[in-house]
Amino acid sequence: MITNTAKQRMQQGKVALGAGCALGAPFTAEMLAGMGWDWVMVDNQHGSWERYSSMLAFMAIRAGGSIPMARAPENDYYAIGQLLDEGALGIIVPMVDTPEEAERVAFASRYPPAGGRSVGAAGASAYGPEYGARFNDEVFVAIQLETRGSIELADEIMAVEGIDGCWLGPGDLANSLGHPRNSSEHDEAVLQMIEACKKHGKAPGLAAGSVEQIEKWADAGCTFLTAGSDKGYISLGGEAELSALS
């Protein structure tokens, strides 16, 4: 069993930087991990992944030296358990709007007595015989606050036992608020999330998307942050080279 070094960093108050992986190619996940990101997220909500390719991606991320995490497609007991069974050491669940929904995430994400996850690890069996005994301590369980309603209930949601952090979705939050990113209204909502996380000893974070946003929200107290993704990095690199050659 390996130690979840990304979770360890956040527990120490340090920033754990991650990158998203959405293209459905395990080799791309390994490349991202090899760059030195603390964690790599296999995006099963907006990405092109299936169960087997997700398992291969988790293996590739470990081989590259990062911690494999996954975003579940939805707040579903079986979808969450499946990603954990295949080797994710962190789980991010989208669109959590109430404490009751957060409790469902926590229940699905850990073995009894801390939760209700079913026993039957598949790809995760590669972690070795200590996996079952150590998993509950090593897994990092995060939810996404992405609506006006979830921000209004942020204090109650982040108080739920078994939730370790928040990876706020700034784009969906902007749509829900009716105010764009970096507006005073949007910033205030993000700060409410950060305050709730800190109050309850949870790791605050969001999908930052750029160096500037990483710096802005790390300074505000976020420790669970992603910069970009495989798709974005390929697009930016190709566009920059084509522009230089034109």
Q: Which residues are catalytic?
A: 46
Which pair of structure tokens corresponds to residue 173?
A: 């939050």
Element (H, E) at 192: helix 184-199
Whole-number CA gyration radius for the chain: 17
3-state secondary structure labels for all residues of 184-246: HHHHHHHHHHHHHHHHCCCEEEEECCCHHHHHHHHHCCCCEEEEEEHHHHHHHHHHHHHHHHC
**What's the sign of the alpha-carbon dihedral 154, 79, 174, 68?**
positive
Between the alpha carbon of residue 217 and those of residues 87, 124, 193, 211, the distances in Å are 29, 33, 12, 10
Q: 72, 92 in Cβ contact below 8 A?
A: yes
Which residues pair with residue 21 across a beta bridge?
A: 42
